[in-house]
Amino acid sequence: MAAVTLLEARGLTRHFGGLKAVNGVDFALDEGEIHALIGPNGAGKTTFVSLLSGRIPAQSGTIRLRGRDITRLPAHARVRAGIAYTFQITQIYAALTVFDNVALAVQGRGGHPLAAQAMAALDRVGLADRAGQIAGTLSYGHQRVLEIAMGLALAPLLLILDEPTQGLAEGEIATFKDIVRSVVPQTTVLLIEHNMDVVMGLADRITVLNFGEVLATGTPAEIRANPAVQAAYLGG
Amino acid sequence: MRLDRALLLHLAVLAALLALHFAAPPYHHSNIARIMVLAIYAMGYNIAFGYTGLLSLGHALLFGAGLYSAGLLVYHGGAGAAVALAAGVLAGGGMALAVGLLALRTAGVAFMIVTLMFAQAGYLTVLYFGAWTRGDEGIVIPQAARTIAGLDLASDAPRYLVALALFAVALLANLALVRSPFGRVMVAMRENEERSRMLGFNPFTVKLAALAVSGLYAGLSGACYALMFGYVGAGLVSVQYSILPLLYVLLGGAGTVAGPFLGALLMFYLIDWASALTDAHQFVTGAALVVLVLFAPKGILGTLRARWLRWLP
């Protein structure tokens, strides 16, 4: 089956002063895949996904979502177009209830009925019984999961996860992997991840960034066997 | 709106105010009418500041827009009080939109400064057009022009009841707003703007809408003030009138529906009591505010909500 392209970036560039954080990156995501983005610290991974989600404007290049040019679309409009982003550093509404956190996400895409859809999103990640709790009082792991629930509640075409397993315990990582597997193929997942077990276990394809440029793209087996990747990142 | 304890509480406040109409001695009766009008202003301020997190130091401009459009329309234009009231509401909302379009390009301290500057420009404009506004001296609205649907706003009983009716509408609308989906988005903007943006909400339009609603309230309050108390002067659009609603809201509880009224009530009587006690009454109110900030920074209802009454909207 020929893969259908969901999102395509061409020549995407963002420099900060002399630092070429993202430098002429060509990139394509297939519908329904789990795609991991790896690379050493400072390789430009977070900047790259920030360009895709619109949090940072691109200096040059184009981004197309299902063929539609979204390069100039502001971040909130890209969310409505179907690109959900979960932050590297947990960003929830700590003072609001767990339910309100997710309800806001459902509202963000105009979902009806609000309460049922919010509860469904919480149910998917196993937080339904904590709906009334103040989000800031959740454990760190639950806060990370809540943030993923907010992403799911947006019912996005593309879910971008920026280092989602950072700081999670082993058991929580297993739960996280199950959640991610359950959202494809309706939702395509782009994942920045340092934990190689998670990457190799989840990803259909992997893109390696280094110094703001694409070093390699391929299946986990191809990436493992790639000598350039081994030299730059995997450390042989 | 569902009939639950939060709605019942606010209905009870309104019932108590109606009872006071019959029970309160004339001095307090007249005070409470004024407090209700000022509380409408403070409620509007709270929608912007308490719920949406917009710390404005220029709301006197919005209050003044209502005050002067109502006052000047009646005084120079010979308009009826009902028309003047409607014009005042729209002027407050329109002014908030105009200011918001520019001021909301900034945030935080810059937003405070920009709104303060706009309000100062408004104050100076009132002085500049002294031929119409009579500046600091102000204009007195003739009693004959202060009648709405046969009710003479210059006499105590109708004034109190009209003030209560408008206060009731404002209070219940405020309750409905903060419990609506849009109310949740306003709070989301206050709590975490970047997160809200990444849930698909445009921060600029959400804040502009909240500011416009805030302006409608301030405009209503300003127009009521002109028509009920018959005086329109530059002192009412000075910086002091930008600070007053902030103090009311901080005292009563920012981000609570009944807080602005409670704050206005307590502050009014604190000043009243302190001025009878000493010439340095501002010292007493200042001390009260220091105590508040140190021991109950969430205000009275905010503290009650944090400790015991989590259901309080």
8 Å CB contact between B262 and B252: yes
Between B2 and B227, name the one with better pLDDT: B227
Q: Looking at the predicted structure, is the pLDDT value of residue A201 above 60?
A: yes
Nearest to B200 among A79, A95, A103 (CB): A79
Q: Looking at the predicted structure, is the pLDDT value of residue A199 above 90?
A: yes
Closest residue in B to A147 (Cα) is B195
Q: Which chain A residues have a beta carbon less than 8 Å from that of B184?
A: 100, 103-104, 107
C-alpha B93: how far from its chain's center? 13
Residue-wise pLDDT for B132-191, tens only, equals 999 888 999 988 888 888 888 888 999 999 999 999 999 999 999 999 999 999 999 999
* Residue of A93, A100, A101 to mutate when probing chain B, most B C-beta within 10 A: A93
Helix axes B181-191, B203-229, angle to 10 degrees: 110
pLDDT at site A157 = 95
Q: Which chain A residues have a beta carbon less than 8 Å from that of B181?
A: 107, 114
Dist. CA A123–CA A115, nearest whole Å: 12
**Mean predicted confidence (pLDDT) in B220-234:** 96
Q: Looking at the predicted structure, is the pLDDT value of residue A31 above 50?
A: yes
| B223 contacts: CB under 8 Å, gap ≥ 6 | B66, B67, B69, B70, B84, B85, B87, B88, B89, B91, B92
Which segment of A86-90, A96-100, A141-145, B88-92 scores lowest on mean pLDDT?
A86-90
Q: What is the mean pLDDT of chain B?
A: 94
Q: Looking at the predicted structure, is the pLDDT value of residue A192 above 70?
A: yes
**Mean predicted confidence (pLDDT) in A85-95:** 90
8 Å CB contact between B226 and B67: yes
**Mean predicted confidence (pLDDT) in A103-131:** 91
pLDDT at site B135 = 86
Q: Which chain B residues have a beta carbon less than 8 Å from that of A151?
A: none
Dist. CA B80–CA B77, nearest whole Å: 9
* Both structure tokens of B2: 């569902």
DSSP codes joined into one string, A47-111: HHHHHHHTSS--SEEEEEETTEE-TT--HHHHHHHTEEEE-SS----TTSBHHHHHHHHHHHTT-
Residue ranges of A 133-192 with Cβ closer than 8 A to chain B: 150, 154
pLDDT at site A127 = 93
Nearest to B200 among A95, A103, A108 (CB): A108
| A34 contacts: CB under 8 Å, gap ≥ 6 | A180, A181, A184, A188, A189, A191, A202, A203, A204
pLDDT at site A41 = 85
Burial class of residue A177, CB neighbours in 10 A (0-12, 13-18, 19+)? middle
A74/B202 CB distance under 8 A: yes
B191/A80 CB distance under 8 A: no
Q: Looking at the predicted structure, is the pLDDT value of residue B56 above 50?
A: yes
Please report, for residues A182, A203, A228, the alpha-carbon distance to residue A233 in angstroms, rounded to integers and kept in the order given.
29, 17, 8
8 Å CB contact between B104 and B96: no
pLDDT at site B1 = 63
B199/A103 CB distance under 8 A: no
**Mean predicted confidence (pLDDT) in B216-236:** 96
pLDDT at site B150 = 84
- Cis status of the peptide bond prior to B313, with omega within 30 of 0: no
Q: Looking at the predicted structure, is the pLDDT value of residue A59 above 60?
A: yes
pTM: 0.92
Q: How confident is the model at residue A229 (pLDDT cuts 50, 70, 90)?
A: confident
> Of all residues in chain A, what percent are helix, strand and coil, respectively (each to 5)?
40, 30, 35
How many Å lie between the alpha carbon of B117 and the closest alpha carbon of chain A?
A: 30
**Mean predicted confidence (pLDDT) in A64-80:** 95
pLDDT at site A235 = 59
**Mean predicted confidence (pLDDT) in B61-89:** 95
Nearest to B201 among A55, A76, A84 (CB): A76
Nearest to A105 among B192, B194, B199 (CB): B199
pLDDT at site A236 = 43
A76/B191 CB distance under 8 A: no
The residues that bridge with A217 in the sheet, in sequence order, are: A207
pLDDT at site A2 = 60
Residue ranges of A 194-223 with Cβ closer than 8 A to chain B: none
